[in-house]
Amino acid sequence: MMEVQILQDRAAVAAQAAQIVAAQIAQKPDCVLGLPTGETPIGMYDDLAEQCAAGKLDFSRVTTFNLDEYYPIAPEHPQSYRYFMNKHLFTRVNIPMEHTHVPGGQGDVDEQCRAYEQAIAAAGGIDLQVLGIGRNGHIGFNEPNDAPDARTHRVTLTENTIEANSRFFDSPDDVPRHAVTMGLGTILDARKILLLATGAEKFDAVHKLLAGKVDLSCPASVLLRHENVTILCDRAAFEGV
Residues in the site for ligand GLP, rule: CB under 6 A? 36-40, 67-68, 132-134, 140-141, 161, 165
Residues in contact with 28: Cβ distance below 8 Å, sequence separation at least 6, in sequence order: 127
C-alpha triplet 149, 68, 113: angle, nearest 5°: 60
- Cα distances from 46 to residues 15, 49, 90, in angstroms, run 9, 5, 11
Whose Cβ is closer to ligand GLP: residue 38's or residue 183's?
A: 38
Of residues 17 and 52, the one with the C-beta less far from ligand GLP? 17
Work out how close the CB of 51 gets to ligand GLP at its nearest, in angstroms, rounded to a whole number.
21
Active site residue 142: no
C-beta of residue 203 within 8 angstroms of C-beta of residue 234: no
Our CB check for ligand GLP shows the closer of 60 and 203 to be 203
Please check whether residue 183 is in contact with residue 222, taking contact to mean a CB–CB distance below 8 angstroms. Answer: no
Q: Which is nearer to ligand GLP, 52 or 130 (CB)?
A: 130
Q: How far is the CB of 70 from ligand GLP (least distance, A)?
A: 9
CB of 36 to ligand GLP, least distance (A): 5
Asked if 101 is an active-site residue, the reply is no
Q: Which of 117, 138, 142, 153 is catalytic?
A: 138
Report the SS3 class of residue 149: coil
| Residue 143 known to be catalytic | yes
Can you say how many angstroms the Cα of residue 36 is from the centroid of all Cα atoms in its chain?
A: 2
Residue 207 bears catalytic tag:
no
* Active-site residue, selected from the candidate residues 69, 101, 127, 136: 136
Whole-number minimum distance, CB 167 to ligand GLP, in Å?
9
Which of 64, 61, 58, 72 is closest to 109 using CA atoms? Answer: 72
Distance in angstroms (rounded) separating the CA atoms of residues 241 and 238: 8
Q: Mind telling me the catalytic residues?
A: 68, 136, 138, 143
